Amino acid sequence: MSILSTGPIANNPSNGQRLTRQVTVKIDNRSPSNPATVLIRGYYLDGSRILYVLDTQNVLPNAVITRNFYADFDGFEFVFTIQGATEEEVQISVWGKNETGQIVAAHRLLSSELLGADLGPTGLPGPQGATGPQGGQGATGIQGATGPQGVTGEQGATGPRGATGIQGVTGPKGATGLQGATGPVGPPTPISVNRIYVANADSNNVSVINGFTNSVTATVGVGSRPGAVAVNPTTNRIYVANFDSDNVSVIDGFFNSVTATVSVGRAPNAVAVNPITNTIYVTNEGSDVSVIDGFTNSVIATVSEGDALQGVGVNPTTNRIYVTSAGNTYISVIEGFLNSVIATVPVMGVPLGVAINTITNRIYATNLISNTVSIIDGLSNSVSDMVPAAGTNPHGVDVNPTTNRIYVANQGSNTVSIIDGIDDSVIATVPVGSFPIGVGVNPLTNGIYVANSGNNTISVISGNTNTVIATIPVGDNPVAIGVNP
């Protein structure tokens, strides 16, 4: 096994702009017969060394793999662990690129320039250290269910019956009135479709899960490196943002097949749907939002806003669209009728995911570096509260508006935090799989689905018990969830 490192790379702003916005990694396995496994770890350096990339690549003999990673930080470092082929047979180069994709010469490292060392066999484990002092008492658990009702006591004695009064004379029967008009038919009881769609970034496909059986029923091939997925339950259309091919795949939910491909901006990484207007919103990391008409599958507007756009969410009731800007550390509010930005709301520390409770008109945004969730009032477009995420590096977020519960995937601590939307506090933390990123909620079944990119599984959480009730294997590097309730 070999370990190579770029060492700390300074990327401080010059004239208000950082030189490197994105890092490209090329891995070349020159062995004619030996495959290699390369673990890529990326750290951003901000007074401390914080992991934000964890990616495993299997490289076949005589194969070359290219990966792109976000790197718009004041400092960063990449470390590569090589297994299988020898260090001499596996060559790795690292290229910094600016906002237009041009190579930054100062941040170009060839394989021979990387810091590295070959590691010998692992020695025997040392003796176990002394047990540390006992921690403080944990929080009180949830109150248990009410016990069965006790036995009913004996009935008391019946009191004496009073005297019956004199019956009055029966009056004449009145005429029958006209029958009133039939009232309108009430709304039908919702029938759960219960299909879950998972974007697998490294296998370039979408896994379709039956939520009743928790099993994969279909796999649909899409574009290159799909990183986001959203569903229009009214039309049963699924929209997948393909990061490397700069387009959106449109899937027919009845036949599980791609019916259209729509070109959008550079590096699309998030997508959301307004089912009332049948409009789809796609954030492009190239700092704009593509607006797609769901009837024609064509881009009808492009909204320029922010830097390093990440997440997008829609409130169909107000026709407001909320976009996280990691580069500007604020949330942009777009008016859906005019397709224009009407407000920006500052938050704290690299906002990524965003979700909306359409009943309370509150917006929830995860902040990667500050390990918090910002809560925005949709009426005033201002932050009303900020909740510690109870985990590290919060990324994906979704809301069950029926129960007013918010679910946050903490990629650094392999947990999901559950926030009570009434008092804005974390009421439970549920362990899930490795490196969870995406999360989706079915409000009809109260099921929560978490994409674990580190071990290629989906954790299914029951919202009734706050426990994992199933684990479903899917494709390579699952990063996003879309739900058709």
**Domains identified in the chain and CATH numbers:** 2-118 (2.60.290), 195-484 (2.130.10.10)
Query: What does residue 402 show for φ and ψ, rounded to 5 degrees?
Result: -70, -45
Structural contact between residues 15 and 57, judged by C-beta atoms closer than 8 angstroms? no
Three-state DSSP class for residue 112: helix
Contacts 24+ apart (CB under 8 A), 407-410: 407/439, 407/441, 407/448, 407/450, 407/461, 408/353, 408/364, 408/366, 408/373, 408/439, 409/353, 409/436, 409/437, 409/438, 409/439, 409/450, 409/451, 410/436
DSSP-derived pairing of the beta strands 257-263 and 268-274: unpaired
Buried b (16+ CB within 10 A) or exposed e, 21-38: bbbbbebbbbbeeeebeb
What is the rounded CA–CA span in Å between residue 415 and residue 307?
Answer: 29
The CA distance from 247 to 224, in Å, is: 9
Q: What does the block give as tokens for 233?
A: 């339950």
DSSP class of 30:
-
Which pLDDT does position 391 carry in this prediction? 92
Give CA–CA dist 255/238, Å, rounded.
11
For 183-196, the pLDDT digits (tens) are 675 444 445 699 99
Question: What pLDDT, on the 0 to 100 scale, is given for residue 124?
Answer: 61
**pLDDT score for 189:** 41
Percent of the chain with pLDDT over 70: 92
Buried b (16+ CB within 10 A) or exposed e, 395-430: bbbbbbbeeebbbbbbbbbbbbbbbebeebebebbb
pLDDT at 157: 80
Q: What angle do CA 55, 4, 244 make, to 5 degrees?
A: 35
**What is the model's pLDDT at position 2?**
83
**Pairing of β 415-420 and β 478-484:** unpaired
The segments of the chain whose pLDDT lies below 70 read 85-87, 111, 116-126, 129, 131-132, 135-136, 138-141, 144, 183, 185-192
Would you state the pLDDT for residue 117? 44
327 to 17, 18, 352: CA distances (angstroms): 10, 11, 10
3-class secondary-structure state, position 316: coil
Give CA angle at 315 (309, 319), nearest 5°. Answer: 95
Q: CA dihedral defined by 287, 335, 343, 284, rounded to 10 degrees? A: -10
CA neighbor of 10 nearest in space, from 81, 78, 75, 100: 75
Single out the residue of 68, 137, 131 nearest to residue 101, CA to CA: 68
What does the pLDDT look like over 95-150, one tens digit per residue? 899 888 888 887 787 767 777 644 445 456 567 767 667 766 766 667 767 778 77
pTM (two decimals): 0.64
